[in-house]
Amino acid sequence: MDPAKVQAVIDWPVPKSRVELQRFLGFANFYRRFIRNFGQVAAPLTALTSVKTCFKWSVSAQGAFDLLKNRFTSAPILVTPDVTRQFVVEVDASEVGVGAILSQRSLSDDKVHPCAYFSHRLSPSECNYDVGNRELLAIRLALGEWRQWLEGATVPFVVWTDHRNLEYIRSAKRLNARQARWALFFARFEFVISYRPGSKNTKPDALSRLFSSSVASTDPEGILPEGRVVGLTVWGIERQVKQALTQTPSPRACPRNLLFVPVPTRLVVLQWAHSAKLAGHPGVRGTLASIRQRFWWPTREHDTRRFVAACSVCAQTKSGNSPPAGRLRPLPIPSRPWSHIALDFVTGLPSSAGKTVILTVVDRFSKAAHFIPLAKLPSAKETAQIIIENVFRIHGLPSDVVSDRGPQFTSQFWREFCRLIGASVSLSSGFHPQSNGQAERANQTIGRILRSLSFRNPASWSEQLPWAEYAHNSLPSSATGLSPFQSSLGYQPPLFSSQFAESSVPSAQAFVQRCERTWKRVRSALCRYRAQTVRSANKRRTKSPRYCRGQRVWLSTQNLPLKTASRKLTPRFIGPFRISRIINPVAVRLLLPRYLRRVHPVFHVSCVKPVLRAPARLPPPPPSLSRAHPSTGSVGFWTCVLGAVVIST
C-alpha cells in the first residue's frame, strides 16, 4: 500500500485529553473484529477513559497506541482496491478539517475493509464555509484524492455522509458558483450520495477532527498578557473632565456634587455614558442616568437625545416600538367588474387528486373570486395560459393586474404578455403583502372554508373547492353589502325555485340598466368603505417622513434573506443606503449593494428609517474597536480610557 494513502492514520497525534482518546478508540472499535485480542491490546488505553482515574499518558499506553495504528494500516484490515467491485466512500467535515475513508467489501469474509484513509486541514477561507459546503468539500477532496480508482470504477460507488441535504445536490436546479464548479468535477464520476446518521459515521468524523488541538493552540492572545490584572481606581473620563475644568471655570448653576462638563469634553462624556461596554448602548433614559451621577451641563438632556438618535449602532441593532410608518394608500376603485384583478397562490397543501396549489383570482370591484387547483407552481407562460382559459375567456381582458413579486409575475414574459393584452402590471413593494390585500384576504377565506369542509379528510380539498368558491361568491361582502354574484351579474342566484315566479324574459336594455344601477351602488359602497378603512388603518400608523432622492436611510432586515449564525443577534437594520427614486409617498427605491442584488430594491416606507445627523460638535459614535494585540499598546490604551492601574503579578 502506498504510504501516502494511510498517512492520515500514521500521523495520528498522541491524545492529550480523555476526549481525544475516546475519539481514537471510537475509530478503533469499528475494526476490532479484524484484530486478534483487541480488548487486551487496547486495555491500557481503555483504562485511561475512566473518570475515576487521572489521565496520564504512560509507556504502555504509547505502545498500545502505536500497535493499533500499525494494525489499522496493514492486513487483514487494509485491503488492496479492486476497480471491478463497488467502492464505499465515507466522508465527514468538522470546523477544522475533513476526513474520508475508502472501503470495499472483501470476497473472503464479506465484510467492509478500508482501502485508504484521508484527512485534510481546512484553510482559513474554507473554515468560513457553511455546513453544507464543508460537507460537499469533503466529497470533492476525497474524490480528487482517489480519482485513479473511482473514476475508472466499473460499478457506481456510494458516498456516505451525515448531511442529509447532500442527497439532492446532484438534482438541484440552483447552485452557487462554487457548487457549480464542483458539479463539473463530479460529472466525471458515477456515484450515489446516501445519508448516514452521525452516530454511525464516526470513522471519518474522527479523521476530520485530527487538527482540533492544533487549531485551539493557535487562538489569539487576549488584550492583556497572562500574569496581569486590572485594578479600576478612578474613571479616566472623570480625569479628562477635571483637566478641562482647569481652563474653563465651572458656572454657579452647577450643583456642588457634580462636575461641570465644558463644550469640548461633552462628546467624550456622551460616548462614555452611551457607547462604553459597561453602558451597552442604552436609550436616552439610561444614558442620562449614567451622566447625572457625576456630570452636569445646561443642555445635557437635549444633547443626549440628539446623540442617542444619531447613534449608528443603535439605529442598526434596535427595533422601534412606534406604529409602522406610512399612511394607508388604497388602490384605485374600478368602475366595472373584472377590469382590475388580483392574483396570488396558495401553497403547502396536501396532494389531492394530483393538485397541491391553488391560484386565487379576485375581482377587485365585485370581490368575486375564482380558485383554480394546480398540480404545482406554474411558470410565467403556464400562468398566462391558465388565466386565459379560466378568467379572460369568461370575463374579458382586464386593464390592471395586481400580484406579489413571485417569479411568475416578475419575469419578462409576464410583462410582455400583460403589455400585449393592454393590462398594466402592478407589483407589490418589497416585503409588503398588504399591497395585494384583496388576494391575501381571499386566501384566508378559502383556507377557512376548506378547513371546515375537509377537516376529516384533508386530501379531499380539491373536491370541495367548487363548493368553497360558490360559498365565497354567494355571501355578502363587508365592503359592498352585496354578494360578488350580485355585484358582477346584477342579480343573486336563488337558492330555492319558489323564490321567483315565472315571468317574461326582460329586455336586454332593462338588464343592462339594472347592471349599471347595481355597479353604481357597488362603487358608491366601495368609496365609503375605503374612506372608513383609511381612517381606521391610519389610527395605528404614523405619517412617514418626507424622503427625497439621494437621502440615506436604514433598511430593515426583518425579511431579508441574510446568512447569519444567529437570527436573534442579527442587526435589525443595515445600511445606510441612498434613495434613487421616490415611487409614491409610501414607497421608495434604494441603491442596494451587490450582495443584495436578488432583493427587489422597492420598499414600503415602513421598512426603512432615515439616517439622522449628529448634533453640532458631536460626530456619530465611532465603530466598535477590534481587539488589539498586546504589542500594539493595547494596555496603555485601556489604561488611558478607564484610568486603570495595571499591576504585575
CA distance 414 to 409: 6
Beta bridge partners of 195: 161
Query: Chain centroid to CA 308: how far?
Result: 29
Q: Do the Cβ atoms of 590 and 421 come closer than 8 Å?
A: no
Residue 274 in contact with residue 312, Cβ under 8 Å? no
Q: Are strands 87-93 and 157-161 parallel, antiparallel or unpaired?
A: parallel
Q: Looking at this protein, which amino acid is placed at residue 390? A: N
Residues of the chain scoring pLDDT < 50: 215-234, 502-505, 616, 618-649
Is the pTM higher than 0.75? The answer reads: no
Q: How far apart are the first and last CA of the chain?
A: 56
Distance CA 214, CA 607 (A): 46
Rounded to whole angstroms, the Cα distance separating 432 from 279 reads 36
Angle (CA) 532 535 541, round 5°: 140
pLDDT of residue 360: 92
Specify the 3-state DSSP secondary structure of 372.
Answer: strand
Residues 608 and 572: their CA atoms lie apart, in Å, by 11
Angstrom distance (rounded) from CA 100 to CA 206:
10
Quote the CA–CA distance of 261 and 248 in Å, as a whole number: 9
Element (H, E) at 4: none
DSSP string, 33-94: GGSTTHHHHTHHHHHHT-TTS-----HHHHHHHHHHHHHHTSTTTS----TTS-EEEEEEE-
Cell of 59: 509507556
What is the gyration radius of the CA atoms in the chain, in angstroms? 36
Query: Residue 532 is inside which H or E element, if any?
Result: helix 508-538
Residues ≥6 apart with Cβ < 8 Å to 604: 326, 429, 430, 431, 432, 434, 435, 586, 587
How many beta carbons lie within 10 A of that of residue 220, not counting itself? 6
Q: Which one, of 181, 196, 198, 209, lies nearest residue 120 by Cα?
A: 209
The single residue listed with the C-alpha cell 338588464 is 511
Secondary element (H or E) of residue 248: none
Give the alpha-carbon dihedral of 58, 62, 65, 66, to 10 degrees.
Answer: -170
DSSP structure string for 432-481: -GGGGHHHHHHHHHHHHHHHHHHSS-GGGHHHHHHHHHHHHHHSPPTTTS
Name the residue with cell 498578557: 225
DSSP-based three-state secondary structure for 610: strand
C-alpha cell at 24: 481514537
Cβ neighbours around 189 below 10 Å, total? 17
Burial of 28 (0-12, 13-18, 19+ CB in 10 A): buried
- What's the pLDDT score for residue 356? 93
Residue (of 268, 269, 262) closest to 294 by Cα position: 269
Query: What distance in Å separates the CA atoms of residue 583 and residue 575, rounded to the nearest whole number?
Result: 20
- For Cα atoms 526, 532, 533, give the angle at the middle one, nearest 5 degrees: 85
pLDDT (0 to 100) of residue 359: 92
573-584 and 552-556 strand pairing: antiparallel
CA distances from 457 to 331, 332, 375, 448, 469 (A): 39, 41, 19, 15, 19
**Residue position matching grid coordinates 346584477:** 490
Q: Which three cell numbers stand for residue 297?
A: 451641563
